[in-house]
Amino acid sequence: MNGTHWVVLAIIVILVFFACVYYYHKHKCKVDNAVEVDKAQLETLANYVAQRKQEEERVAVAKQERKDLMKVQLETFKQTKEELKESLRTQIDQKQWKNLGDVMNLADKGGVGIYILYNASKDKYYVGQAKQIFKRIREHFKVEDIARDYMAGDDIQVKFLTANEIGGDYRLDHIEKTGIEIFNAGKTGYNRTEGNV
């Protein structure tokens, strides 16, 4: 091999070396950039997961607080049930029965409270609760059993007590349930359940 061949060979080796260095640096930059992108995506994902976890914990705490409150209210109701029943019976007895037609014709929607529908012809009761008592009473007389009896000519009368008249810290569900018990409206009346408690 003469000197020219050594020069050509040296140039080829140098070119290969620089090509390798160039390729290595180019490839390393791509990997580094990919790692940076992956880090950013992972941070975004981690933040999202952390926020979701905080939201789930907040919802779970709020749900537990509602459960605890309902439990306290139910315990209070159980402790004062007889007292409520006596008080409610007294207040209902003091009210005069109203003719259903008079209540149906009222333009006012009525306040929050409970109402008692009494079929004097069949001696059957219905006890309900409503945010708008008169409006809710009118709704009963569309398709329900008591509506059919009314259309057949039965004498239907009404009593109602607003939440203000009842007073106390009782939930309407408790008051309604107590009223259903007083009039046995779940077993011999129009109520299909014994109440929502």
Q: Is the pLDDT of residue 182 over 80?
A: yes
Q: What confidence score (pLDDT) does residue 107 get?
A: 80
CB 190, CB 140: distance < 8 Å:
no
Q: How confident is the model at residue 171 (pLDDT cuts 50, 70, 90)?
A: confident
Q: What does CATH list as the number for 81-182?
A: 3.40.1440
What is the chain's length? Answer: 197
What percentage of the chain has pLDDT greater than the value 90? 31
Interval 82-95 mean pLDDT: 87
Cα 3 from Cα 9, distance rounded (Å)? 10
State pLDDT tens for residues 24-34. Answer: 666 655 545 55
39 to each of 33, 44, 55, 124, how far by Cα in Å? 10, 9, 24, 72
Q: How many alpha carbons fall within 13 Å on the CB side of residue 143?
A: 0
- Percent of the chain at pLDDT > 70 equals 80
What does the mean pLDDT of the chain come to? 82
Across 19-121, where does the E strand assignment appear?
A: 98-99, 113-119
Domain boundaries, the chain: 1-79, 81-182
Please compute the mean of the pLDDT values over residues 107-118 and round it to a whole number. 90
Instruction: Give the Cα separation of 168 and 165 in Å (integer).
Output: 9
pLDDT by residue (tens digit) across 61-79? 888 888 887 777 677 666 5
